[in-house]
Amino acid sequence: MNKQVNLIHKGLIDYKECWDYQTSIFDEIIEQKILIRKGLAKEKETQNFLIFCEHPHVYTLGKTGEKSNLLIDENVLKSKGVNYYHINRGGDITYHGPGQIVGYPILDLDNFFTDINTYLRYLEESVILTLRDYGIDSMRLKGATGVWIDGDNPLKARKICAIGVKLSRWVTMHGFAFNVNTDLEYFNHIVPCGIKNKEVTSLEKELGVKQDLIEVQNKLLFHLSNLFGFQFI
């Protein structure tokens, strides 16, 4: 099993451009798995990737999401300079924008474990542990994938990280969006993740000061590496 992970930093990149980039890697890994199983592959192992990036303002709606959870029309989207895509991950609608850590693990889970529940819980746990490094207690909310602060208090629960993935032949794509220095005003135009009456927050809002995005990324990488057994290359 290959536990090496190609770490790729894309910086600020258009959502569609990065989605196409993800898809090309995803498709190549699946094709490699098919060749290996047929005994036709020169390389006997599949590769793994982790993309870190930020996106210009964009709303994305998962394949089972409700378009009605986008609360503004195309004219308002255009006036605000926000793109919109209906995409092939799970989950409902979310926002991506500058100041947010977006992570796209493109992993062959046959290299780690074939359990989608464990995969999602590890993604959540990496963010929970990162927040703990900053003195913030966070948690999972039953029935709502992602990471929450005060999730056990219906009046105070606020989401700080959204997760939505796609899986085929145990290969993953899409991933998580962790609000660090995110402009939360953009969440006012959607029902985030299709969950009504719940707030969204960021690390900056919780701590009252803008954070070093690279520092947060490095802490997150540390926890991802420990949980999954990644060997970054």
Per-residue pLDDT reduced to its tens digit, 51-110: 999 999 999 999 889 999 999 999 999 999 999 999 989 888 999 999 999 999 999 999
Residues 94-138: pLDDT tens digits? 999 999 999 999 999 999 999 999 999 999 999 999 999 999 999
Contacts for 195 with CB less than 8 Å, ≥ 6 apart: 92, 144, 159
CA 224-229-233 angle, 5° bins: 80
Number of H helices, E strands in the chain: 5, 12
Under DSSP, is residue 57 helix (H, G, I), strand (E, B) or coil? coil
Confidence at residue 198, expressed as pLDDT on a 0 to 100 scale? 80
pLDDT at 182: 97
Q: Residue 187 has what pLDDT? A: 94
User: What number does CATH give the domain 4-232?
Assistant: 3.30.930.10
User: For the chain, how far is it from start to end, CA to CA, in angstroms?
Assistant: 16
Q: What pLDDT does 90 receive?
A: 84
pLDDT at 193: 76
Helix axes 213-228, 116-133, angle to 10 degrees: 140
- Given a cut of 80, is residue 40 above it in pLDDT? yes
pTM (predicted TM-score): 0.95
Give the closest residue to 193 by CA, choosing from 82, 95, 84, 122: 95
Span 26-54, average pLDDT? 95
Structure tokens given for 33: 């798995």
Neighbours of 13 (CB within 10 A): 17
CB 123 within 8 A of CB 146: no
34 within 8 A of 27, measured Cβ to Cβ: no
- 193 is a catalytic site residue: yes
Domain extent listing, the chain:
4-232
Element (H, E) at 19: helix 15-38
The band of 42, judged by pLDDT with boundaries at 50, 70 and 90, is confident
CA-based nearest residue to 180, from 157, 156, 207: 207
Per-residue pLDDT of 191-220, as tens digits, reads 887 777 789 999 999 999 999 999 999 999
